[in-house]
Amino acid sequence: MHSGTGLPVDSGTSGKTALEETFDEGFFELRFSPSVALVATVRRFVTEFYAQVLGNADLSGRLAMATHEMLENTVHYSSDGRGAIAIAMKKQPESVEIRIETTNSVVPDRLARAKEALDGVVGASDPNVHYLSLVRRAAKRTDGGSGLGLGRIRAEADLDVSYRVEGDQLTIRVEGKFDLPAAPVSIRVEK
């Protein structure tokens, strides 16, 4: 069974998505009419969210960048003016698992181009080499897009990329597991 966003829903009575059931410590989903202005607003929100939950500025910055790139893709490829993003995290004492998913409708010709780009990112054996090849290609593009977003996510944010297509619905998922730095030990010295 699937929810309206294309995310799997558990077969129980909770009505939560499988993503939400698995990652219950930091889950939220936004549905919106994609616009460039909202991308910046959502990025500010998720930057603060990641910083509060993770307490790790470097990781928070990389995840905010990944979220921003995925939202830009949603704005660029949405055919019906709607999109959804779901962000989930499962924090352990020494690590955190992150999943970010976007879902939107895409017209067939753009869907074919998106799938081609996604296959390149997903299939790249070395994300950094692939990203550098995308940068070189971007310099020659004339269609207004850079084509760097998902390659950048994989190379700079160190997240795995996957996707699925159901009819005209494209769902892109990025995910990864990250070690968290140990909490600083405070030593009290008495005089």
pLDDT by residue (tens digit) across 71-92? 888 888 888 878 888 988 888 8
Which pLDDT belongs to residue 144?
58
How far is Cα 155 from Cα 76, in angstroms, rounded to an integer?
21
Considering the domain boundaries, does residue 139 fall inside one?
A: yes
CATH code, domain with 130: 3.30.565.10
More confident residue, 67 or 141: 67
Q: Which of 175, 173, 135, 133 is nearest to 158 (CA)?
A: 175
The amino acid at residue 150 is: L
Q: Which of 124, 144, 148 is nearest to 135 (CA)?
A: 148
The yes-or-no verdict on residue 181 having pLDDT over 80 is no
Query: Containing domain of residue 83, as a range?
Result: 18-178
Considering the domain boundaries, does residue 9 fall inside one?
A: no
Which pLDDT belongs to residue 83?
85
pTM for the model stands at 0.77
How far is Cα 152 from Cα 134, in angstroms, rounded to an integer?
9
pLDDT band with cut points at 50, 70 and 90 for residue 184: low
Considering the domain boundaries, does residue 165 fall inside one?
A: yes
Considering the domain boundaries, does residue 135 fall inside one?
A: yes
Instruction: Please count the structural domains in the chain.
Output: 1
More confident residue, 67 or 12: 67
φ and ψ at 125, to 5 degrees?
-75, -30
How far is Cα 170 from Cα 17, in angstroms, rounded to an integer?
17
pLDDT tens per residue across span 35-75: 778 888 888 888 888 888 888 889 999 999 999 899 888 88
